[in-house]
A = this chain, B = another copy of it.
Amino acid sequence: MTPTPDTAERSGRGASARARRRDSRAAGPAGPAYITRAIPTYDVAPEESLVMIEDTAARILEEVGIEFRGGDAPAIEHWRAAGAEVSGERIRFPRGLVAEVLKTAPREFTQHARNPARSVVIGGRNTVMAPSYGSPFVMDADRGRRYGTIEDFRNFVKLAYSSPWLHHSGGTVCEPTDVPVNKRHLDMVLAHLTLSDRAFLGSVTAEERVVDSVEMARIVFGAAFAEQNCVVMGNFNVNSPLVWDATMTTGIRAYARANQGTVIVPFILGGAMGPVTMAGAIAQAHAETLVGCALTQLERPGAPTIYGNFLSSMSLRSGSPTFGTPEPAIGSMIVGQLARRAGLPLRCAGNFSNSKLPDAQAMGESVMSMLSAIHCGANFLLHSAGFLDGLLSMSYEKFILDADLCGALHSYMAGVVVNEDTLAMDAFQEVEPGGHFLGCDHTMRHYQTAFWDSQTADNEPWETWSENGSEDAMTRANRRWKQVLAEYEAPPMDEAIREALEDFVARRKSEMPDAWY
The complex places the Cα of A250 from the Cα of B447 at a distance, in Å, of 36
Partner among B239, B243, B411 whose Cβ is within 8 Å of the Cβ of A327: B411
Q: Would A457 and B274 count as touching, CB distance under 8 A?
A: no
B-binding segment of A38-46, A174-182, A215-223, A295-303: A38-46
A278 — which chain B residues lie within 8 A by C-beta?
416-417, 422
Is the C-beta of A33 less than 8 angstroms from some C-beta in chain B? no
Within 8 Å CB of A421, what residues of B?
A: 277
A228 contacts chain B at the CB level, 8 A cutoff: no
Instruction: From the candidates B45, B274, B316, name the one contacting A448 in the complex (CB within 8 A).
Output: B316
Q: Which residues of B contact A113 (CB under 8 A)?
A: none
Evaluate contact between A277 and B356: CB separation under 8 angstroms: no
CB distance from A419 to the nearest CB of B (A): 7
Interface string of A359-388 (1 = CB under 8 A from B): 111111111100100010000000000000
Kindly supply a per-residue 1/0 record for chain A positions 333-359, scoring 1 wherever the CB is within 8 Å of any chain B CB and 0 otherwise.
010000000000000000000111111
| Partner of A271 from B435, B438, B456 at Cβ < 8 Å | B438
Q: How far is the CA of A279 from the CA of B416 in the complex (A)?
A: 7
B356 touches A462 (CB 8 A): yes
Docked complex Cα distance between A40 and B375 (Å):
13
A65 pairs with B433, CB closer than 8 A: yes
How many copies of this chain? 2
Q: A459-B322, A460-B320 are in contact. Are A437 and B279 (CB under 8 A)?
A: no
Choice from B280, B329, B438, B472 contacting A360 with Cβ under 8 Å: B472
Alpha-carbon separation in the docked complex, A416 to B359 (Å): 29
Nearest Cβ on chain B to A11's Cβ, whole angstroms:
40
- The reply to whether B366 and A271 contact each other, CB–CB distance below 8 Å, is no
A358 to B451, CA, bound (A): 24
Whether a CB of chain B sits under 8 angstroms from the CB of A224 is: no
Task: Please provide the chain A residues from 9 to 57 with a CB less than 8 Å away from any CB of chain B in the complex.
Answer: 39-40, 42-45, 49, 52-53, 56
A304 at the interface (CB under 8 A from B): no
A331 to nearest B CB, angstroms? 5
Give the contacts of A433-468 with B (CB-CB under 8 A): 433-438, 442-443, 446-448, 450-454, 456-462, 464-466
**B277 contacts A450, C-beta separation under 8 Å:** yes
Bound state CA distance, A90 and B434, in angstroms?
11
Contact, CB under 8 Å: A412 / B326: yes
Q: How long is the Cα–Cα vector from A145 to B463 in the complex, in angstroms?
A: 11
Which of B282, B320, B473 is in CB contact (< 8 Å) with A459? B320
Q: Which residues in B have their C-beta under 8 angstroms from that of A270?
A: 450-451
Residue A203 at the chain B interface, CB threshold 8 Å: no
User: Beyond A280-B424, A462-B356, A473-B361, is A316–B433 a contact (Cβ under 8 Å)?
Assistant: no
Q: Is the CB of A442 within 8 A of B241?
A: no
* Residues in B whose Cβ lies below 8 Å from that of A316: 447-448, 451, 453
Supply 7 A–B pairs (Cβ within 8 Å), ascending by A: A63-B429, A64-B429, A145-B462, A327-B450, A358-B360, A363-B363, A364-B364
- 12 new A-B pairs (CB below 8 Å) besides A241-B431, A360-B477? A39-B330, A42-B42, A45-B416, A52-B418, A65-B433, A275-B427, A276-B443, A277-B422, A279-B423, A320-B460, A320-B461, A365-B457
